[in-house]
């Protein structure tokens, strides 16, 4: 921990405090959640990416990180290369800014209070009464200053989660207010995202929700420099003037954030509305737009054209148990869009809830499941934990394999593909995964076993092998070709089980090839493929986490390429 010194204000601050160089942009939200603060923040970052922009996300929940949260409640858990489990907005940050984020850039109230308790135990506060202000806000400010200094940031881009008025984010907002006075007005900018509705029947944009939201922010001592209005239509000059008058800013500082088909259009919309000029003037920055945006703009135009006049539309079946919330598979959706853009394709997702499939009388009715997949060009079985929906996934995998539908299994999806193959091709009808043993189910043939080492089975967090790891590719395999002849690739993992080494030989004898593995000392199987299939690949890692618009994940690209070929053959036969 950094050495701590007593400040003139009567409380402790770190000697890693403000470096005098970094500028700060804070993004807050109002009216309601889910407006897209993460995308707005990432879009601003993309436009400024010629500078060293470091994104920070502040979450109000008391969990230390979202690693144990249900995806239906919170959305997907985004895994970083350093092994950190962070908020899904980091997916937007990485995809838009082209960076590898770090886990310490995600600040939660769980982390804040843990730091506070640790400092108190170490005697940092020397017996003084610990209070929310100044001590909690000091921890938050210290975190911002420490990251900006450590990362040598030109701009620290801070998204404050939730909406203004939420109890959970009060101290983040107060810390931001205090910080703005420490660094000075030319080194701090506040952008506030709100909602501008058009009520049914009136067809008129209403500014009242924005006015109330800005008033709440003003009451907390923050006066936004930019107000971003989320709306289904471009904000009219009249509504911009009204919002500007209430927000005490020029009307040009009121920016539209339109509902769009692709989030990658948003930075371009911000750029057209002149947001860079506002930021440059306020923060006294010099320079132009990021050169990355030229290729970005070209690809966005391609994507828009594919949507309006698609060369071909593929139907992709996404088969999992978290289908009730779209954000559960946010990165997979984005990876599909990235690959589709580069292939000049349009994709429609067919969501198949494998838990519901499992509960129906058709769980083991292979013909019924084949009928469900008859119009599908590719199948994706994503990751997930536990027994719920497991047999439904296995049935879908069985059908996809027999029907020769291009298939990609990710994480648990790969493991269940191995289980399915062992049951139906290797003479092991009782094959299963030890994943279900904790639920009291005995597994006779554990083709999927715990990772080696006692550290993986002690506690929930300790079970998981997380973060970036090298994957060694087998020479002459399909995946070697997919990765352009590379012998080693680096991908991100989040798993506690592996293919049981005792069954590898038997499985390979029957036609499944393990074409990617870890270092020789532990030799965990990371990739499998079936050679007599158009495209049947499973990976223990999560390729969707490193995909972006400028460089789509190779496995998704080639899955869609195989799906396009199937689509051509299927439509010719219709």
88 with 334: CB under 8 angstroms?
Answer: no
Q: Do domains 4-65+73-295 and 310-573 have the same CATH topology?
A: yes
Mean pLDDT score across all residues of the chain: 88
Quick count: other Cβ atoms within 10 Å of Cβ 467?
Answer: 16
Point out which residues pair with 189 in neighbouring strands.
25
Q: Model confidence at 569, in pLDDT bands (50, 70, 90)?
A: confident
85 with 67: CB under 8 angstroms?
Answer: yes
493 with 540: CB under 8 angstroms?
Answer: yes
Nearest residue to 352 via CA among 327, 317, 380 = 317
Tokens of 431: 């094959």
Percentage of residues in the chain with pLDDT exceeding 90? 67
Q: Provide the 3-class DSSP secondary structure of residue 482.
A: helix
Q: DSSP H helical segments within 233-361, as ranges?
A: 237-247, 266-272, 275-283, 292-308, 330-342, 354-359
Instruction: Please give the model's pTM, rounded to 2 decimal places.
Output: 0.88
> What whole-number distance in Å separates Cα of residue 237 and Cα of residue 418?
59
CATH, domain range 4-65+73-295: 3.40.50.300
DSSP codes, 318-333? EEES-TTSGGGGHHHH
Is 466 or 213 the better-scoring residue by pLDDT? 213
Give pLDDT tens digits for 309-332. Answer: 778 899 999 998 766 656 678 899
Please identify which residue in the block is written with the tokens 């394999």.
Answer: 401
> What whole-number distance in Å separates Cα of residue 194 and Cα of residue 226?
11
Give pLDDT tens digits for 50-68. Answer: 999 999 999 988 888 877 6
For residue 278, is pLDDT > 60? yes
> What whole-number distance in Å separates Cα of residue 140 and Cα of residue 182?
14
Nearest residue to 329 via CA among 385, 381, 376, 259 = 381
Provide the pairing of β-strand 23-29 with 53-59.
unpaired
> What whole-number distance in Å separates Cα of residue 104 and Cα of residue 112?
11
DSSP codes, 34-92? -S-HHHHHHHHHHHTTTS-EEEEEEE-SSSSSGGGS-HHHH-PPEEPTTS-EE-THHHH
How many CA atoms are closer than 13 Å to the CA of 326, on its beta-carbon side? Answer: 5
Mean pLDDT of 531-543: 96
pLDDT at 15: 40
> What whole-number distance in Å separates Cα of residue 275 and Cα of residue 268?
10
Q: Is the peptide bond before 134 cis (omega within 30 degrees of 0)?
A: yes
φ/ψ (deg, to 5) at 336: -65, -45
Domain boundaries, the chain: 4-65+73-295, 310-573
Q: Model confidence at 280, in pLDDT bands (50, 70, 90)?
A: very high
Q: Which fold has domain 310-573?
A: Rossmann fold (3.40.50)
């Amino acid at each position: 921990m950094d050495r701590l010194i007593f400040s003139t204000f009567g409380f402790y601050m770190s000697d890693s405090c403000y470096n005098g160089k970094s500028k700060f942009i804070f993004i807050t939200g109002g009216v309601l959640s889910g407006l897209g603060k993460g995308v707005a923040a990432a879009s601003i970052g993309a436009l400024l990416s010629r500078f060293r922009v470091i994104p920070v996300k502040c979450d109000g929940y008391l969990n230390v990180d979202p690693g144990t949260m249900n995806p239906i409640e919170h959305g997907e858990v985004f895994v970083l290369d350093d092994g950190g489990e962070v908020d899904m907005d980091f997916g937007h940050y990485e995809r838009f800014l082209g960076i590898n984020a770090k886990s310490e850039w995600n600040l939660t109230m769980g982390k804040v209070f843990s730091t506070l308790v640790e400092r108190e135990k170490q005697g940092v506060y020397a017996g003084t009464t610990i209070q929310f202000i100044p001590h909690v806000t000091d921890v938050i400010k210290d975190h911002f200053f420490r990251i900006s200094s450590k990362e040598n940031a030109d701009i620290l881009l801070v998204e404050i989660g939730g909406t203004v008025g939420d109890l959970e984010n009060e101290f983040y907002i107060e810390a931001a207010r205090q910080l703005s006075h420490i660094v000075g007005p030319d080194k701090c900018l506040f952008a506030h995202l709100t909602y501008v509705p058009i009520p049914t029947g009136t067809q008129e944009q209403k500014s009242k929700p924005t006015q109330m939201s800005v008033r709440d922010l003003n009451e907390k001592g923050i006066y936004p420099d930019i107000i971003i209005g989320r709306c289904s239509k471009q904000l009219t000059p009249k509504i911009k003037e009204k919002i500007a008058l209430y927000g005490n800013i020029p009307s040009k500082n009121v920016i539209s954030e339109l509902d769009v088909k692709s989030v990658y259009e948003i930075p371009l919309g911000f750029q057209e509305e002149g947001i860079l000029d506002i930021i440059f003037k306020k923060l006294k920055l010099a320079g132009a737009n990021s050169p990355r945006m030229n290729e970005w703009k070209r690809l966005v135009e391609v994507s828009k054209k594919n949507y309006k006049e698609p060369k071909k539309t593929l139907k992709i079946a996404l088969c999992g148990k978290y289908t009730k919330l779209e954000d559960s598979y946010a990165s997979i959706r984005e990876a599909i869009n990235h690959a589709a853009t580069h292939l000049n394709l349009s994709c429609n997702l067919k969501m198949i809830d494998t838990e519901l499939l499992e509960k129906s009388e058709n769980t083991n009715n292979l013909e019924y499941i084949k009928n469900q997949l008859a119009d599908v060009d590719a199948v994706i079985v994503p990751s997930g934990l536990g027994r719920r929906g497991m047999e439904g996934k296995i049935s879908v995998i069985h059908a996809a394999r027999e029907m020769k539908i291009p298939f990609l299994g990710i994480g648990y999806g790969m493991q269940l593909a191995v289980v399915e193959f062992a049951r139906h091709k290797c003479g092991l009808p009782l094959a299963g995964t030890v994943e279900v043993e904790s639920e009291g189910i005995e597994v006779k043939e554990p083709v999927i076993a715990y990772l080696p080492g006692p550290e993986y089975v002690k506690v929930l967090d300790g079970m998981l092998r997380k973060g970036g790891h090298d994957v060694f590719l087998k020479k002459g395999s399909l995946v070697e070709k997919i990765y352009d002849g590379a012998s080693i690739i680096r991908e991100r993992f989040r798993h506690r089980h592996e293919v049981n080494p005792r069954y590898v030989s038997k499985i390979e004898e029957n036609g499944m090839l393990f074409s990617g593995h870890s270092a020789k000392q532990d030799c965990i199987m990371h990739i499998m493929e079936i050679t007599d299939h158009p495209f049947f690949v499973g990976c223990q890692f999560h390729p969707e986490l490193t995909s972006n618009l400028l460089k789509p994940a190779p496995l998704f690209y080639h899955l869609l390429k195989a799906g396009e070929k199937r689509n051509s053959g299927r439509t010719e036969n219709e």
